[in-house]
Amino acid sequence: MIDHRLRAAVGALLILAAAAAGYGQIKLGYLNSQEVLEKSVEGKKILARLQEADRQNQAAIVKLDEEIRTLQTKLSTQRITLSEEAAAKNAADLDRRTTERKRKAEDAYADMNELRDRLFKTLQEELIAVVTQIGKEKGYDFIFDLGKSGAVYWNAALDITAEVIRRYDASKPPAK
């Protein structure tokens, strides 16, 4: 929250400084990066890839959960009939599977974070090039990302999100 406020304050200071320096009319624009992620072809691919990775991770964890439940059931129903050695072996198997499940969940979480960060970084770098081109062509002095600006009001006429999506999609080779 402080980060958003700081960005908004810095942006406002830059605008005021430019205006005070006699820069004259300042042309502003904004885009909604979340909307670009959700509506652009590449953004949709990224979201689908993340969902598929998450689905695979969840399936692996569910499989381990089922194995753990089976071992728990076996241990509790056969406890009376099992020898002490067999019961200890089953308990050790249960502990091993529980630890394996915990590690799998931690690894999946870390892998998802790394994948998300890598994919979003690539998307952001590609979008910056598109936004920069639009800014230069249309003479914008500042283009803000609405999702990160902390803005509470904006004029819809300044929204360049649709154009960013159109140009970004056009910059990518057609899907096969």
Using one digit for the tens of pLDDT, what is the confidence trace for 72-95? 998 888 878 888 888 888 889 999
166: confidence class by pLDDT, cuts 50, 70, 90:
very high
* 9-15 average pLDDT score: 57
29: left (phi over 0), alpha (psi -120 to 50) or beta: beta
Quick check: 20 pLDDT over 50?
no
Within a 10 A sphere around the Cβ of 63, how many other Cβ atoms? Answer: 12
* Residue 30 in domain: yes
Q: Which of 94, 52, 88, 91 is nearest to 69 (CA)?
A: 94
- Domain tally, the chain: 1
Q: pLDDT digit string (tens) for 119-142?
A: 999 999 999 999 999 999 998 888
* 51-80 average pLDDT score: 92
* Residue 132 in domain: yes
By residue range, what is the domain housing residue 46? 2-171
* Residue 176 in domain: no
Task: Quote the percentage of the chain above a pLDDT of 90.
Answer: 50
Please give the Cα distance from 168 to 158 (Å, whole number).
18
Q: Which of 173, 138, 176, 175 is nearest to 159 (CA)?
A: 138
Quick check: 98 pLDDT over 90?
yes
DSSP line for 94-123? HHHHHHHHHHHHHHHHHHHHHHHHHHHHHH
Q: Which helix (H) or strand (E) covers residue 142, if one does?
A: strand 142-145
* Residue 19 in domain: yes
Question: Model pTM?
Answer: 0.73
* Residue 161 in domain: yes
